[in-house]
Chains A and B, each alone.
Chain A
Amino acid sequence: MKWFKQLTIAALIAVIGFSSVPASTPTATAASKLSGKIVINGSSALLPLTLQAANEFKKLNPKVKISASAAGSVTGPQAVRKGIANIGAVDWDASKDVPGFKKFDGQVAHKVAVIPFAAVVNKNVTATDLTTKELQGIFSGKIKNWKEVGGKDAEIIVVNRTFGSGTRVNFQDKALDGTSFMTKGDNYKEVKTSGDMKSAIETTPNAIGYMDLAYVTDKMSAVKINGVAPTEANVINGKYKVWGYGYYMTKGQPTGATKEFIKYVQSTKFQNGSLKKLKFIPISAIK
């Protein structure tokens, strides 16, 4: 931009002459003049990030109204297709076919974050290092007791996200190598959001579930998978495989306030500041 600024100054000088050059810098559209309404819906994993960005963006652009909600990833591109949201927050690239979901035609995917996902267990569970095969057995219902995987003699409670969750899509694809979940049983329950999952794992002894790393609290344990801990460092160095990109989906290329908001979320300032603070990983960290 520097050359452009100088060019503009030079052009200004050439046009009006030196003696009357004003003290102000070249005019440009001020951020305070940006207006519009942005409706965002979809992934509950991405909601804290979206709301943090919205709060910061509104201070720079007070005339932009932003509404953000979450009911599972698939409802993001659905809401965009239906025309009731400008941005669909989703934990997979919904412009492409993925197992369980067809692509959303005409929608453009914008990467906004890298989301590490973790298998999590209640604090009373002692088996905190599981292999892919053990995870497949547990989430398919074939392994029913913690003692079968080196833990105490206690029945395993499996907590799953409902169909349409991006966290579920990623966990099934990357932690379970695509194998199927159990769908019913006395020791099986489904929850709608990441927040519900957090509550369930924290309060249910012998429970196992999964969530994005940002939601993990000290009231639960994040499970090592094949001996690798779910950490930012292990995602970046390629050792930990259970992660995905978070996307903002738009109907065609975004314009106006929506375009500027996505640019803000993708900006170096936000990616390396607030986004990292919320325990997401910047998209630039994955080479």
Chain B
Amino acid sequence: MQMKKAMAISMITAAISAAAVTPVFAQTAADQHAVQINRSTFLVNANQVSIRTIMDGGVMLASVRDMTNAIGATLHINRDHTVVVKLEGKTLKLKASSKTIVLNGVSSSLKHQAKEVAYSTFIEPAAFIQALGGTYDNSMISTVQLLAGAEHAVWVNSSQLLVSNSAGEGREDYLVHAANGKYELLLTSTGASDLVLSPDGKSVAYSDANGAVFTIDLSTKKSTQISTDNSIKNELQWSKDGSSLFYLQGDKSSVIAKLSLVDGKVSKLLEDKVDYKANLEVSADGTKVAYYVFKQPKVTADSSKDVELDDVAIDATGTEPQIFFYNTTAADNKPVQLTKDTADKVFLHLAADGSKVSYVSVSADDASIGQLVSVDNAGKASTPLFADKDVYQLVQGGSKLYLLTADGSSTNAIYEIDSATGTSKLVHTVSDSVSELLVSGNSDIAALIDGQLAVLSNGKWKNITN
């Protein structure tokens, strides 16, 4: 692995040395020799960044301003032409035509003097980055230790995401800053459910392998055990007011239950003896629920016959997933079946007022084309909301819905859907390597791309994990 990594790095280096794109010949006041300014791509905190470089006496120097921008530092030029760069408590001063740099008042020497070309100062990138506390290795700049990978993520608020990664025999959950990828460990667990964010974004809840439920205050990191009930709990959902958690109970997810965060009391909302419910959604007032039911095909097999005869038949007729709706105030254990068609279905969103559900309907044919469909809570009015492109994913962000769809040959598209009017708006296009779209309550967008978490910032994707 090390050899291959080294090979990859050396290829980047080779590419840098070979690249001489958009040459600019400039003459400085200090040096009347023509100098060619190149544009080179560096990998800065996991993102490709174009930085101006020059070759001076066989040594590559990089633009101080470009590097400063790339690492999120600030730059100021004094009247005496001293360049002052500040990054997290470090103040670095340097001057063109000088081998001296001053870090927080302490001087040190450069191997190669800084140079001014076309009113820009160039410096050895390794010395510059290392002085600011970062690392530099063959055109790879790192000033922030980024989290390695991201298997699952969710927005906490516009500035933070919750990121989960497998680790050893369990999982680690981190809070990651959207702006720079800085992270802090929140929870190390094994057998725990995904962390579920509270509506106010201040807490998360999860159940452990024993069925016990915990909450964590995100500001204090304090964990509180809510319940010792050991039943299996699937798909925890917060109530809008944050006072209780809804979930599917049991190994067959047959019961819809509610756990009070106030007194730990569990109450059963629906116990209709129908197994394998999934994708539980709860209305804002906590009285209406929607969910899928996965029915199993009928298997006919005669155990008295010789095994070698393979006397087994599977009849999958009528076992497509169907959506059900239940008003818990009715308390009659009689949910309403909203769909009956043969399309496959995935993702589910119940409107805040419980009036309708939206889902992705995937055609039953081999083409498996996905479209966004809405159906009212009586199951009478089914409306295609978006069928312009093949829909891959449905995500809620605030009061709007977002879709990840097919687009060009190598891109996917992100659409914003106004579920009230059905109007759609193209938000952005993205590489078709996206595996998961994430949208915050404020419509901030992030995506998991090739196992890295990237946020959409000023129209560009920026990786915040490695």
Contact = CB atoms under 8 A, between A and B. Distances in A.
Contact of A63 (B251, B368, B434): B368
Interface string B391-407: 11100000000001000
B117 interface: no
A253 B171 CA distance: 30
Given A18-B16, A25-B452, A81-B310, A75 B301 contact: yes
Contacts of B39: 18-19
B153 to A, nearest CB: 13
A282 B50 contact: no
Interface string B177-190: 00000000000001
A197 to B, nearest CB: 13
A232 B210 CA distance: 11
B412 A162 contact: no
Interface in A263-283: 267-269, 272-274, 276-279, 282
B461 A23 contact: yes
Interface string A31-61: 1110100010100000110011011001110
A158 to B, nearest CB: 18
Contact of B312 (A1, A84, A276): A84
A71 B301 CA distance: 7
Given A7-B4, A30-B434, A164 B301 contact: yes
A82 B346 contact: no
A33 B16 CA distance: 34
B328 interface: no
Contacts of A130: none
B227 to A, nearest CB: 15
A26 B46 CA distance: 13
Contacts of A68: 294, 296
A17 interface: yes
Contacts of B298: 69
Interface in B424-466: 430-436, 449-452, 454, 460-461, 463, 466
Interface stretch (A8-16, A119-127, A143-151, A201-209): A8-16
Interface stretch (B6-14, B76-84, B123-131): B6-14
A277 B301 contact: no
B370 interface: yes
A94 to B, nearest CB: 10
B299 A272 contact: no
A67 B315 CA distance: 10
Contacts of B300: 71
B450 A25 contact: yes
A69 B170 CA distance: 29
A65 interface: yes
A21 B5 contact: no
A48 B252 contact: yes
B451 to A, nearest CB: 7
Contacts of B194: 273
B451 A62 contact: no
B346 A59 contact: yes
Contacts of B190: 272, 276
B312 A75 contact: yes
B350 interface: no
Contacts of A23: 48, 460-461
Contact of A11 (B11, B18, B19): B11
Contacts of A10: 8-9, 11-12, 15
Interface string B273-289: 00110110000000000
A273 B463 CA distance: 26
B4 A69 contact: no
A41 B316 CA distance: 11
Contact of B433 (A25, A48, A62): A25
B346 A278 contact: no
Give the most central of B11, B404, B430, B466: most A CB within 10 Å: B11
A62 B4 contact: no
Nearest to A62: B346
A62 B392 CA distance: 6
A285 interface: yes
Given A3-B1, A59-B347, A79-B314, A18 B191 contact: no
Interface in B74-93: none
B40 interface: yes
A284 interface: yes
B319 interface: yes
Interface in B5-38: 5, 7-9, 11-12, 14-16, 18-19, 21-22, 38
Contact of A55 (B41, B232, B279): B279
B336 interface: no
B294 A55 contact: yes
A74 interface: yes
Given A2-B466, A55-B294, A272-B171, A18 B4 contact: no
A95 interface: no
B193 interface: yes
16 contacts: A2-B148, A6-B43, A9-B48, A11-B11, A13-B16, A25-B452, A30-B433, A55-B279, A65-B368, A69-B314, A163-B303, A164-B303, A267-B166, A277-B234, A278-B232, A284-B169
Would you list the 4 A-B pairs with minimal beta carbon distance, nearest first? Answer: A276-B191, A10-B11, A71-B299, A19-B21
Given A21-B41, A27-B410, 4 more contacts: A2-B148, A32-B432, A55-B294, A277-B234
Interface of B: 1, 4-5, 7-9, 11-12, 14-16, 18-19, 21-22, 38-41, 43, 48, 50, 148, 151-152, 166, 169-171, 190-194, 207, 209, 230, 232-234, 251-252, 275-276, 278-279, 294, 296-301, 303-304, 307-308, 310-314, 316, 319, 344, 346-347, 360, 362, 366, 368, 370, 391-393, 404, 410, 412, 430-436, 449-452, 454, 460-461, 463, 466
